[in-house]
Chain A
Amino acid sequence: MLIFTFRRLLISVPTLLFIALVIFLLLDLSPGDPMAQVPLTVPPEVKEKMRLALGLGEPGYIRFAKWLIQFFWIEPLNTVDHIFGTGFAEGKLRVISWQTRSPVMDIIYQRLPQTLWVVGLSYVVGVLIALPIGIYSAYRQYSVFDQAGTFVSMVGYSVPPFFSGVLLIVIFSVKLGWLPSIYDTTHVVNDWASFKVQLKQMIMPVMVLALQTTAQISRFMRASMLDNLNQDYVRTARAKGMSESVVVMVHVLRNSMIPVVTVIAMGVPGIFGGAIITEQVFKVNGIGQLLITSIQANDLPMVQTLTFIFAVLIVVFNLIADILYGVLDPRIRYD
């Protein structure tokens, strides 16, 4: 298993380099001018100098190589410096945002907690709701509960978050006035009252994202359970006199979880993508919103870095899914 993991990590290096190159080329070829937001009164020759200062005068491959070195070497060094107070990266040039002129990674580190809180929590909530629903729907297939579950997940599947989000805002913020419509990032939790405020502002974005997760995972869980409930080994377990709870929650569940766990792992990067829209709707200034504003401002280093981080997440979670599969299913041996 260790060898397998190591080999997979090694293989993912060229994959990621290739992805980085594609992102870079796409951004380089896309129309748009980083100087577009500079006031018109600035003379063209000054603009040209600014352009050169951003490194835009150099040929593409140099810029790509620079980004690679900065991202893969200098940024990790910086993180090490940050944690251990060392000075490895001192004076080295980092990936700088064109828009804010501060290092890209610093901004990302600032925005990450908001995203993790809202998106991460909603994923956890969504999965925790989905699993029991999926299990019970399968065990009582075609019952009223199962039908209701089918309906709700259809809704979750088909209603996009920018619709359900706005709908919730209209109902709970505008009409009822129960919940705030804007997520306040500066809010500090230090006592019960402020915790309640935090809870209130998180409910809607978390629910919107959780609805999607719940819909998908509960369907998947149900299908996986149904597959296994009809297997011969379930009959064997019953023939041994095992109680229904042991039959379902031990014998069937253990088998059903194998594909579900991998789907959950592979869904993690996807949820970051989904957050882009939800963060926009609820004004959560997380990673998703950062990406949108950077695209609008033509902040290529930021877009490049963020997109690449998404790509890394996808590769990493795919690997995690594969490893989990091997851990959970004794029939699969990688080495």
Chain B
Amino acid sequence: MPDGVLPVLDVRDLTTVFHTRSGDLHAVNSVSFDLHAGELLGVVGESGSGKSVTMMALIGLLPSPPAVVRSGQVLFGGHDLLTVDKDTLRAIRGKRIGFVFQDPMTSLNPVFTVGFQIMEPLRKHMGLNKSAAWTRAAELLHLVGIPDATQRLKDYPHQFSGGMRQRVMIAMALACDPEVLIADEPTTALDVTIQAQILELIKALREKSGMAIIWITHDLGVIAGIADRVIVMYGGQVVEQAPVAELFANPRHPYTRALLKTVPSVHGQRAARLKVIEGQPPILRSAPDACVFLPRCAHGFGRCAAENPQRRAVGVGHDLACHWDGETEDG
């Protein structure tokens, strides 16, 4: 939807470096993407590609030190989230942007009841009193499919299973009807039925309130089912972006192609077709000056080592960061 409508969230040129004891680590390198109301943006990429760090950086949740956001803009509701004052940022977090973290086992505070934790944003942002917040919290818990919701509000996180905690996280993120939901692998600990239920819930909310969603996952099947658009990340960069149908039909980046091949095929012969991408994801000690995928790429040529490819448009809403034209076997 690049036609004139302003995106709700516009990330430009986001760069983040970790200053660690063993040296700098360039975890996010010039990442740009936008998100429109009611849109579901899928984010894929193998472990360590910088998906979580990107999302945490854009809302200022990385611990500093070691993290330093070097450059970029995150435009949301007329503010740049990277430079906005702390109070405004706090009024946005949890209210207008909800966040579901990757690790449900440790992301809840062990010494407070689940009810208390869900009620916190409700009381702070919506100004609800205790009993109203309690009612709403029970409603939310019920919404994410936890049986006996009112009763369970009094329980502590350790009394919930991993999947239930993940759903508590989702309930918490949805508490204040956010305009943007950032969900970092929100359904990894859920079984298929519950996962489907959550996906339905998310779709419904999107239809009803026009909530925009960023959905990070390893599960390309889920992406194919619910995403409108997908960005593929590698080495802290967006290497390809395309509408979901286009991406699955016509992947252009060698990494995207390899990634799609790792998905077990539905048409049998699964194991045989499962392909592993050889090599390790890079650990970037300095800002990349060559293509980050080059060491693992089958199509690399001279230019790839000399120049980090910029994203270039190759179709409607489809762009990629690669020098290879996709035709010649080796350039």
Contacts and interface: CB of A to CB of B under 8 A. Distances in A.
Contact of A258 (B101, B111, B158): B111
Given A258-B111, A329-B111, A331-B158, A238 B106 contact: no
Interface stretch (B4-12, B87-95, B266-274, B319-327): B87-95
Interface in B106-126: 106-112, 117, 120-121, 124-125
A93 interface: no
B178 to A, nearest CB: 10
A255 interface: yes
B90 A255 contact: no
Given A235-B101, A258-B111, A241 B92 contact: yes
A242 B124 contact: yes
A232 to B, nearest CB: 4
A251 interface: yes
Contacts of A236: 99, 101, 107-109, 117, 169, 172
Nearest to A236: B107
Nearest to B124: A241
Contacts of B107: 232-233, 235-236
Nearest to B62: A235
B139 interface: no
A230 interface: yes
B111 A328 contact: yes
> Among the interface residues B109, B112, B172, which one has the most CB atoms of the partner chain A within 10 A?
B109
Interface in A222-259: 230-233, 235-243, 251, 254-255, 258
Given A238-B61, A241-B125, A255 B93 contact: no
A232 B106 contact: yes
> Among the interface residues B101, B107, B158, B173, which one has the most CB atoms of the partner chain A within 10 A?
B107
B108 A235 contact: no
A255 B109 contact: yes
Nearest to A142: B65
A160 B92 CA distance: 53
B13 to A, nearest CB: 23
Contact of A240 (B56, B93, B103, B111): B93
A251 B93 contact: no
Nearest to A228: B109
A242 B111 CA distance: 17
B23 interface: no
A233 B172 CA distance: 13
B284 interface: no
A8 B53 CA distance: 48
B59 interface: yes
A330 interface: yes
Interface residues of A, number: 21
A255 B111 contact: yes
Contacts of B95: 241
B160 interface: no
Interface in B59-118: 59, 61, 63, 90-95, 99, 101, 103, 106-112, 117
Interface in B144-180: 156, 158, 169, 172-173
Given A235-B101, A330-B158, A241 B93 contact: yes
Nearest to B95: A241
Interface residues of B, number: 30
> Among the interface residues B59, B63, B110, B111, which one has the most CB atoms of the partner chain A within 10 A?
B111
B110 A331 contact: yes
A230 B111 CA distance: 16
B154 to A, nearest CB: 11
B183 to A, nearest CB: 12
Q: Chain A: interface secondary structure?
A: helix
Contact of A254 (B91, B111, B172): B111
A240 B120 contact: yes
A238 B86 CA distance: 11
Given A254-B112, A258-B111, A328-B111, A239 B93 contact: yes
Nearest to B102: A232
B189 to A, nearest CB: 14
Given A235-B61, A235-B101, A236-B101, A241 B121 contact: yes
A136 to B, nearest CB: 18
A82 to B, nearest CB: 43
Contact of A241 (B90, B110, B112): B90
Contact of B90 (A230, A243, A254, A331): A243
Interface string A318-335: 000000000011110000
Contact of A237 (B91, B109, B169): B109
A239 B110 contact: no
Contact of B110 (A237, A240, A243, A330): A330
Given A233-B106, A330-B111, A238 B156 contact: no
A237 to B, nearest CB: 7
Contacts of A241: 90-95, 121, 124-125
A240 B172 CA distance: 8
A258 B109 CA distance: 13
A241 B97 CA distance: 10
A232 B108 CA distance: 8
Nearest to B175: A240
B207 to A, nearest CB: 25
A330 B117 CA distance: 15
Contacts of A233: 106-110
Interface string B175-203: 00000000000000000000000000000
10 residue pairs, one from A and one from B, having the closest CB atoms? A241-B94, A240-B94, A241-B93, A232-B106, A233-B109, A239-B99, A330-B156, A240-B121, A232-B107, A241-B90
12 contacts: A230-B63, A233-B106, A233-B108, A235-B101, A236-B99, A236-B107, A239-B61, A241-B94, A242-B94, A254-B109, A330-B110, A330-B156
Given A236-B101, A240-B94, A251-B112, 9 more contacts: A232-B101, A232-B103, A233-B110, A235-B101, A235-B107, A236-B99, A236-B108, A239-B173, A240-B120
Interface of A: 230-233, 235-243, 251, 254-255, 258, 328-331
